Structure 1
Amino acid sequence: MDYKLIVIIVVLLVAVVGYVRLYRHYRRNIKKVRFLFDAIDNGDFSFNFPTEKRNKEDKILHQSLNRIKLFLQHTREEQMEREKYYEQILNAVDTGIMVVDSQDNILQHNQAALRLLDTDVLTHINQVRERLKDEHLAKHETQAMLKGKHVRIIALSDVSHELSNQEVDSWIKLIRVLTHEIMNTITPVTSLSETLLKELDNEEQNAAEPQPTEQAKLKQGLETIHKTGTELLAFVNNYRRFTHVPQPQPALFYVEPFLERMAMLCNHEVEIAVTPKDLLAYADESLISHVVTNLLKNAVEAFNDLQSEPTTKPFIRLHAYTNEHEAVIIDVSNNAGLIPDDIASHIFIPFFTTKPEGSGIGLSLSRQIMRVSGGSLSLSQDKTHGITTFRIVIQ
């Protein structure tokens, strides 16, 4: 009886010891698995479970956990590469993208959105709510589900260039119609008056008696008609240039010597800064020279029109550089005073001028030249420092 009891007790002790050891082994393995997933959840893949000098069961478990870690690490790296790839694509497009949640928090955005909304940081829609009302920003909004949450994807596009092109096209069509009709009307009148004047001159040469008063008045009237018609034709031909910009013949040229030549034609000291010094542009140099010359001439005239002496040293500055899209930028700046807002909004409209003897064709023709050259011409003003800048962009 005592022998059987001892056996039972021994078996129970062995069972308890075995259970405790098995339980402790189980707990260690559970901790290892938990450590694996906690580390992965925190983005830590620097750990490795040892496989040397381990019993067979631990070695198999550690090898399996290491394989799981490598698989998840590889999957995470692929996901990060994919996200980086998509982010680069988003930042490469000119369309601004914003992902906004139901509380108007901006979850994601691209660089174009920052540029179009003129801000460095985007965290909430309230930051740019007023800017989004700009008529030059086209907005397209779609609904989506992101990680179980309702979000809005807002796409922004700058349509100011398209509006400007449409406006210029409308002016070109109008000018073509007007010049065609005026030329058709005035040319016969000018031609007829010239013919009649020649006949009167022939009669005067052949006549022995002095010219009667009525005939003298007739000649004077015909001369007036002829002169007025000729001046009107010259006037119309001047505006026809706006609609007949020659086709650009682009070629590479160095920007710095080009700007130096432009400055020599200007009757004013001009500061020149080119970055880098060997900056090259691909455009029709003769057409671009027309634009730069016109802007420099306007700057000089602005200084001549000043009613009082400037409080700071007057300057005209040419600054050439490249932007993030590798486009060549030429800024033509001066501190001859700001252009009032009501005038600045009309300066590129053909025929608009504030000068008594101005034609109103210079700036509109310059913008048209840049347009057919694939670039742009725009105005910006630093109201804090009183600096006016016309920006030429050569794509």
Structure 2
Amino acid sequence: MSQKYSKARIIFVATLVVMISLFHYVTYYFQIYSHVFYRELYFVPLILAAFWFGFRGAVITSLSISTLYLPGMLMGWQCFSLDFDKVIEILLFNIVAMVFGFISDRERAKEKALKEVESLAAIGKAISGVAHDLKTPLVAIGGLTRLVQRRLKSDDSSREKLDIVIRETQRLETMVKEMLDFSRPLKLNQAPGDLNKLLNETLALVEDVAKCREVKIETKLQDLPQFFFDPMRMKQVFINLITNAIQVSPEDGTVTVRTYREGARIIFDVVDHGSGVPPDIKEKIFIPFFTTKKEGTGLGLSIALKIVQAHGGHLEIKENHKKGAIFRVVLPFRLKR
């Protein structure tokens, strides 16, 4: 909704509330049926505010109506038994506002989620086609380049140029793999496993990346019982999150990896001491292809979120009180599929 359109709606609702209140005050208090009619008219701006502005807008409107109507009600007050319906009406304004506002917000959330699903499905279909078209020629380029390189002498100056071709081809192959991972329907192969053991295997894989950036990885792993999860997929999540944390950390910085259990939840945290995640970036960070890096597809966190949600968990970003950010994976503790 445009800002101009939204302002027009606010003015319209406010004008209705003020006009109905004026009718109350200029009508003699003994004209009971007129006052009853005006009270019923209050529901018009109330319901409009609920559907246009949601819960917050509806509550603000109901409180405004109550504030404007209350003095007039007290001026014409006769006795509790005769005017009790007016008190009930004020309560009803606020109850209706909360109910309709809640329904409006819920329907908006459903509509937004549906649009996101449709958008992601369209993106996934387009990505899948592009990725499949790229995959075959990249494999051919990489294979032929390695074949030519093996036939060159060790001191041939062309070997360095071919090394660049191979590295770039591998980078593109990785990007294509991420595209395919994002576009394909996610099928989990869950089995009872040790999350800490899987995490230690992952840390061995990212050790070279940490050394290159002179970043230390600190682990705080609580003893966890075995539970059902897909080890291959969760390893992918760990690699994405830990690699991201290493990349945003300063030299000689520390990335802390910790696991613990809270009731029926298994929690995995990756804590970095980088520059943190600004609020405007936090809203977009899980959107496919959104990235603040010069390299990469912007699909790493989207894929991680997709995997975690497929496990029935959620992935969230917390502020690190010292400096940086905390990426938290919360998984349900399941002893069976």
- TM-score when scaled to structure 1? 0.43
Q: Which has the higher strand share?
A: 1
What TM-score do the two structures reach when normalised by structure 2?
0.49
Q: Which has the higher helix share?
A: 2
Q: Which has the higher contact order (CA 8 A, sep 6+)?
A: 2
If you compute each CA radius of gyration, which structure gives the higher value, 1 or 2? 1
